[in-house]
Amino acid sequence: MSKDAFIVLGGGGHARVVIHCLQALGYRVSGYTAPRDLGVQRGIPYLGDDRGLRRGVEVTNISMALGIGKVTIQSPRLHLMDTLRAEGFHFPPIVSARAVVHDDVVLGAGSVVFDGAVVVTGTRMGLACIVNTSATVDHDCELGDDVHVAPGATLSGGVRVGKRSLIGTGARIIQGVSIACDCLVAAGATVVRDLDRPGTYMGTPARRVA
């Protein structure tokens, strides 16, 4: 990752965490974009919405970071990233200086690993994934695009998570389980067998509730 400046897409709480990660890594953050001005965030100014961004920015001198969080299955983050990548913008993966990520882990464009998270050998993750604060992703896991492993959640070894799924805060997934695309695993749930259908799964052991 070059030490070029970043622009962060989004100005809420998730964006502030991304900005903090970048600042701690020594990157300059030129500004953030959002549908409306949320004021200066961690010393970073508002640049307008992303339409203004496309008119005003030289794509080769700037890196982009997704600062849009994900608390539901549907979210605009992957579509926005795809659109901007097609226009030439690049989204390097970002790993907090306080995370542990083994050297053979593969991170897709736009993916982030936050403070205290641990991602270990053999794991591969797609585009725009979030491994949030103090989450752990053990060996040989596979995460599809736009998967969010929320704070404190634990994926044991060899877990597969389909695109857009959200593993809620503090959820635990035992080894070798496959989770379909578009699943929401509730906060605190324990997944002990494959989740074959999209839906919301809750409890210990996790059962489909919607």
Ligand X SMILES: CC(C)(COP(=O)(O)OP(=O)(O)OC[C@H]1O[C@@H](n2cnc3c(N)ncnc32)[C@H](O)[C@@H]1OP(=O)(O)O)[C@@H](O)C(=O)NCCC(=O)NCCS
Interface residues with ligand X (CB under 6 A) are: 71, 132, 150-151, 168-169, 184, 186-188, 200, 202-203
Give min distance, CB of 166 to ligand X, in A. 7
- Residue 31 or 69 with smaller CB distance to ligand X: 69
- Residue 41 or 133 with smaller CB distance to ligand X: 133
- Residue 57 or 153 with smaller CB distance to ligand X: 153
Q: Residue of minimal CB distance from ligand X? A: 168
State the Rg of the chain over Cα.
17
Q: Which residues contact 107 (CB under 8 A, 6 or more apart)?
A: 93, 95, 101, 113, 125, 129
Residue 187 φ/ψ, nearest 5 degrees: -55, 135
**Residues facing 161 on adjacent strands:** 143, 179
Structure tokens at 158: 């060899």
- Residue 40 or 71 with smaller CB distance to ligand X: 71
DSSP characters for 105-138? -EE-TT-EE-TT-EE-TT-EE-TT-EE-TT-EE-
Q: Which residue has the tokens 């464009």?
A: 109
Give min distance, CB of 194 to ligand X, in A. 19
Give min distance, CB of 72 to ligand X, in A. 8
Give min distance, CB of 52 to ligand X, in A. 28
Give min distance, CB of 135 to ligand X, in A. 10
CA distances from 114 to 9, 14, 36, 145, 183 (A): 17, 10, 26, 17, 22
Give min distance, CB of 87 to ligand X, in A. 29
CB 110 within 8 A of CB 130: no
- Residue 96 or 169 with smaller CB distance to ligand X: 169
- Residue 121 or 204 with smaller CB distance to ligand X: 204
